Amino acid sequence: QVQLVESGGGLVQAGGSLRLSCAASGRTFNMYAMGWFRQAPGKEREFVAGIRWSDGSTYYGDSVKGRFTMSRDGANSTGYLQMNALKPEDTAVYYCAAGRTTYAITTLLPYDSWGQGTQVTVSS
């Protein structure tokens, strides 16, 4: 399996920026996709961004398009989520996930390894 550790969360004012990191270790050879999900209190887990590890193609949830950018550093097996123009509704615990396929990358289906989560709080 792949082990994942998120970092970079914190408190930021509306309109500000944060960059989250997801460091992968273990069987990273089998990591075909990396995704970011978030979950706010009382809400279901929501797809935020995903990347195909092979070619770096990215996918975004409708609520973050144009504001968030996902990237990867293959040499370090690390994925990043650059979050700009943050809004209070972006407040959530953000989870990194790794999948062994790229099928349905914008859903929960491909992902079988998860990080512990990092809190992002956006104040108004």
Q: List, run by run, the mean pLDDT of 10-residue segments along the chain (124 residues).
A: 96 98 94 97 96 96 98 95 98 97 93 97 97
Q: What's the pLDDT score for residue 11?
A: 98
Q: What's the pLDDT score for residue 32?
A: 95
Please, are residues 2 and 26 in contact by the beta-carbon 8 Å criterion?
yes
